[in-house]
Amino acid sequence: MSSSSQSKTAASTSSALRGYLYIAAATFFWGLSATLGKLAFNGGLVTGATPLGPLILAQTRTTFTLLLLFPLLRMMGKRAPEHVARRDVVLALTVGMFGIAGSNYFYYLAIQKTTVATAIILQYTAPVWVLLYMVARGLQRPTWQRLAGVAMAVAGAALAIGVFQSGGVKLNSLGVFAALMAALTFSFYNVMGHHLVGRFDRWYVVLYAMAGASLLWIVLNPPWKIWAAHYTASQWLFLFVFACLSMLVPYLLYFAGLEHLDATRAIVVSCLEPVFAIGFAWAFLHEGITALQVVGMVVVITATVIVQLTDTGTQKLTPDD
């Protein structure tokens, strides 16, 4: 091998390594945010006359990120796309309203009502729902690898939520429902988001989507209701820091990773998120995990990798927790 070829190989390896590190760092922050959210719900971090709930957490997470994106895009020298169809803008806003807002709210509701492990493992069945949608639309073929991935994900999720434990399922039904809704809304966000990023700058897709989510929250939880809640200064500080740690910083890291890795390798690395989330929950929330649940988590993550590796070039998932 010539010295030129060796240097190119070394540069490629170095670039890929940076990509892996960026994506892994993003999943670290996403995993950490799940535990921070649970601690906030339990009053373990900040307290006030009105406790923090999933709604205000999801609302401020997107709204603060939206406000921070404007100066950030200007600093990056990003210019607004010139020829964007109105229907694409409407679709991006819709993705924010029903995809980002929905997945954020249902995910944190699931964490509040159940455990971090249950919430994140059920949300990680999202690639299965995406695959079923693609097959139903005739966009992909139901190969045996994909069918095996679906079966494994369903079985793994059942193990993870304790279906086969001796005492039966002892989970909050609303929490399990919320986790499944988080998976479905996350799937919607990824299917439609993949369509949009192929049409104009992904940063502006995120900007419009955040705007859509923020607008929905203003309607559902208007400013005067927030004012009447009398959140303390420490609660507002937590909400701002949480928005940065759970959305802005990991998004920057994830997109930096996408500059060095293709989408398939990036999403496979993002399967570290449940590992970090469950590890933090075990360490700081003392959430017990049985051996069968660990097996279920491994099966779901394996199924996610199988589904995504067999669908190279047909879907691009970008995590929102």
How do residues 187-218 score in pLDDT, each as one tens digit? 888 788 877 877 888 788 889 999 999 999 99
- Structure tokens belonging to residue 11: 């540069």
314/263 Cα distance (integer angstroms)? 10
**More confident call, 36 vs 161:** 36
Count of all residues that appear for the chain in the document: 321
54-75 helix and 3-41 helix, angle to the nearest 10 degrees: 150
Given a cut of 80, whether residue 305 has pLDDT beyond it is no
237/301 Cα distance (integer angstroms)? 34
Query: Residue 84 phi/psi, 5° resolution?
Result: -105, 125
> pLDDT tens digit string along 94-121?
999 999 999 999 999 999 998 888 888 8
Residue 2 confidence (pLDDT): 59
CA-atom Rg of the chain in angstroms: 20
Q: Is 288 exposed, middle or buried (0-12, 13-18, 19+ CB in 10 A)?
A: exposed
Residues above pLDDT 90, as percent of the chain: 32
Could you give the C-alpha distances from 267 to 70, 92, 304, 316, in angstroms and in order?
27, 21, 9, 8
pTM of the model: 0.82
Q: Residue by residue, what is the 3-state secondary structure of 70-110? A: HHHHHHCCCCCCCCCCHHHHHHHHHHHHHHHHHHHHHHHHH
